[in-house]
A and B are shown apart, each in its own frame.
Chain A
């Protein structure tokens, strides 16, 4: 396939994804009704926080886009487990540390970095670093961006002004919920990717797909940086 066809395909994929992407622009926080509910909690509430964590992940397109990028070229289950574990380790550290240590962070800036993580991963999948002759450690990158994803989760929880009573149990529940949600989402993504890989078109469209992924990352960045400037 020549380069012009590739670029054309990338553009078509971008426009298609943008058109089909439901609710591209919705802020990805905790819904107002869930937030109201959390305000009424005065102690340990393991079930609700498990659910909120899982829901946050399953409906969190920023985290999902990054995960799609991470496992896009991972064919062996062993590799999927390794990279997902690194991501989990990274985001759990900052989720727990950020909320318990009450670390102040700007949600818009963190979310912009999460957008950047999608751009980065897409560029890597496009063979960008290889072409430029630089070889950043892919495992370290997933781990470091995982730290930012966890910080993003922490800022959402901090906005809720959680009661101190039962805080640790609630955050750990939220964290476990995040992992359950991630497992569900990953299963769905893996099934789709595995099926697609059996098709001849996979490698042919991989470049276009990752260009579209990159565009998604750019949109997230623009959205969050604008939000930051308007603050």
Chain B
């Protein structure tokens, strides 16, 4: 091993000629430009001036189109695993951190429609607790801060599925939720540590309306 200079830039003898320096700098620039045009720009931005990105499939990295919706085998009609239920409930959330969790037991493939409104902005988190799995297996599907929400939900697996609502503001907030779907039990978890379970009755059809004459 040869003696190594103590510190600082290249040893004096190693300072390259201007020509070498220029060539190396140009080489670095040219190779960088080639890599940018052939690889980086197609993959990152979908800019593909010489078509290398398309030829190698790199261009696909820049296109984040969602996968197409595939119709289920049974077509647009989906039979449901439980009785049809309707449920409405109202909760009062204390200011500065009052919260409630309200969830339904849904089997895999069961659907519900929902709408909820609050008297003020609240944080919400639609999440799940898969049956027989630890809390870490929970999935969170929608989160944010809002006064209302509505939509439909089809359970990807059996478990309990529903909302966490939290009031961060300085005034109490009332949240009202109405759902219709094919669930069984509804469960409530309050910020004071209490839990409640509400058996939801199947909808009894109202007296048959006879068709207009």
Contacts and interface: CB of A to CB of B under 8 A. Distances in A.
Given A200-B2, A203-B14, A207-B16, A11 B21 contact: no
Nearest to A26: B44
Contacts of A218: 28-29, 32-33
Contacts of A203: 10-11, 14
A215 B32 contact: yes
Interface string B46-62: 01000000000000010
B7 interface: yes
Interface stretch (A71-79, A146-154, A169-177): A71-79
B16 A74 contact: no
B6 interface: yes
Contacts of B6: 75-76
Given A6-B24, A222-B36, A127 B10 contact: yes
B121 to A, nearest CB: 14
Contacts of A125: 9-10
Given A24-B35, A24-B39, A11 B15 contact: no
Contacts, number: 129
Nearest to B41: A226
B36 A223 contact: yes
B27 A14 contact: yes
Interface string A125-163: 111101110000000000000000000000000000000
B28 A7 contact: no
A226 B62 CA distance: 14
B18 interface: yes
B14 A214 contact: no
A135 B19 CA distance: 19
A179 interface: no
Interface residues of B, number: 40
Given A215-B28, A218-B32, A230-B45, A75 B168 contact: no
Contacts of A122: 28
B20 interface: yes
A190 interface: no
A22 B47 CA distance: 20
B40 interface: yes
B16 A222 contact: no
Nearest to A135: B9
A97 B204 CA distance: 64
A39 B25 contact: no
A203 B15 CA distance: 11
Contacts of A42: 168
A73 B10 contact: yes
Contact of A11 (B17, B27, B43): B27
Interface string A41-81: 01000000000000000000000000000000111100100
Given A24-B39, A215-B28, A126 B7 contact: no
Interface in B56-75: 61
- 10 nearest interchain CB pairs? A218-B32, A215-B28, A3-B20, A127-B15, A214-B28, A222-B36, A25-B40, A14-B31, A211-B24, A127-B10
Interface of B: 1-2, 4-11, 14-21, 23-25, 27-29, 31-33, 35-36, 39-41, 43-45, 47, 61, 125, 143, 168
Given A75-B4, A131-B21, A214-B25, 19 more contacts: A3-B17, A7-B27, A11-B31, A24-B39, A25-B39, A25-B40, A25-B61, A73-B10, A125-B9, A126-B21, A127-B16, A130-B9, A203-B11, A207-B14, A218-B28, A219-B40, A222-B41, A223-B36, A230-B45
Interface of A: 3, 6-7, 10-11, 14-15, 18, 24-25, 27, 39-40, 42, 73-76, 79, 122-128, 130-132, 197-200, 203, 206-207, 211-212, 214-216, 218-219, 222-223, 226-227, 230
20 contacts: A6-B20, A10-B27, A25-B43, A25-B61, A73-B10, A75-B6, A76-B7, A126-B24, A127-B10, A127-B21, A128-B21, A200-B2, A203-B10, A203-B11, A207-B10, A207-B16, A211-B27, A215-B27, A215-B28, A223-B44
